[in-house]
Homo-oligomer: A and B are copies of this chain.
Amino acid sequence: MTLRAEILQQPAVLQELLGTQMSAVMRVAAAVHAREIEYVYLAARGTSEHAGIYAQYILGAYNKLPVALAAPSLFTVYERPPQLTRALVVGVSQSGQSPDIVGVITEAQRQGAMTLAVTNDPDSPLARAAAYTLDIRAGVEHSVAATKTYTAELLVFAMLSAALAGDTGRVAELERVPEAARQALELEEQAARAAEHFREMSRCVVLGRGYHFATALEWSLKLKELTYIVADRYSTAEFQHGPIAMIEPGFPVLAVAPSDPGAAAVTALLSHLARERGAQVLALSDDEATLQAATIGLQLPAKVPPWLMPIVSILPAQLFCHHLTIARGIDANTPRGLSKVTLTT
């Protein structure tokens, strides 16, 4: 199956996940409530780490849980793991194979912490090492560049957050995500035109903040994997503490900037970059003022709550990357130097 086919599959994958896995998610939520969990310790790499960063924001905002991203080398290289007794220790991996992520879960299990695997393979070493497993049910992903497994991981964390809070209003919001994803895929033609506009770039920066930071990270990684563009990435706040010095006239800035409590500051920054610094700004947004501030705007579906927008906003970004490979004459299905399963220790 080609990359584009997997991108287009996402509304169906999300629908299936919602329809089949809510009970499993609720069992994990009940187990969390039965213990004195003080924080979450989350191990992941690459695309799955971006899903972990999404989890950091929503579990913090809606479940009051601080989330620490693991430093796997403490477990595998230095053999000096931290004490995780009061943590919910989560390993996220599409394949469930990477030894460093499995190593974190194995050690946490040894310490007696609550462990959870989020994976596309419930028979993987990661799933076998963890006490609880959530299956993202995305089906086999053939492309090296992850797309449907990413949005499925996001949705599992969104479901877990709603279940932990016992919030039926948020569960109802979840049920509208597959339709919003379908609408986001309708942006393909515009994404292809935007790719044509940016086809010559050799470097760029991708920006987002808060809930949308994960989308910026994931967009940047897709650009590197698929188009070999040096795509830097920052939260809009972090960007202003130094990296903004890189911007010169014509510099490409890709931004994820939907309606959000933080949107005003992001829009002001994009407007500054486009008008005063001469940057070429591509913005994903559902907000008219933000779209106007950009050089090119892609209009995201309306009325998606900010906490769920990351499951929707990455879709046109994936399509943009896919069309950039066509514009640049690259075969998206065989990225150079990569394989589907990376085994780092």
Contact = CB atoms under 8 A, between A and B. Distances in A.
Interface string A58-87: 011110111111011110011111111111
A210 B65 CA distance: 26
Given A203-B230, A261-B77, A45 B245 contact: no
Interface in A239-287: 240-248, 260-262, 265, 277
Contact of A77 (B81, B209, B238): B209
Interface stretch (A24-32, A132-140, A183-191, A335-343): A335-343
A123 interface: no
B68 A82 contact: no
Contacts of A202: 202-203
Interface stretch (A1-9, A13-21, A171-179, A220-228): A220-228
Interface string A304-345: 000000000000000000000000000000011110001011
Contacts of A82: 39, 59-60, 64-67
Contacts of A59: 82
A73 B238 contact: no
Contacts of A205: 230
Interface size bucket, A side?
A: 35 or more
A46 B242 contact: yes
A68 B66 contact: yes
A81 B342 CA distance: 35
Contacts of A244: 337-338
B210 A225 contact: no
Given A38-B86, A68-B66, A84-B66, A246 B224 contact: yes
Contact of A71 (B56, B98, B247): B56
A228 B210 contact: no
B73 A237 contact: yes
A52 to B, nearest CB: 12
A204 to B, nearest CB: 8
A245 B337 contact: yes
A100 interface: yes
Contacts of A60: 71, 74, 80-82
Nearest to A62: B80
A68 B71 contact: no
A251 to B, nearest CB: 9
A225 B260 CA distance: 29
Contacts of A47: 241-242
A245 B261 contact: no
A121 interface: no
Contact of A338 (B45, B86, B242): B242
A157 interface: no
22 contacts: A39-B68, A39-B82, A45-B237, A57-B73, A57-B74, A59-B82, A60-B81, A61-B74, A64-B81, A64-B82, A66-B82, A66-B83, A66-B84, A67-B82, A73-B262, A145-B242, A202-B203, A203-B230, A228-B246, A228-B248, A240-B344, A247-B337
Which 8 A-B pairs give the minimum distances between C-beta atoms? A68-B68, A46-B241, A61-B80, A77-B262, A64-B83, A237-B344, A73-B210, A66-B82
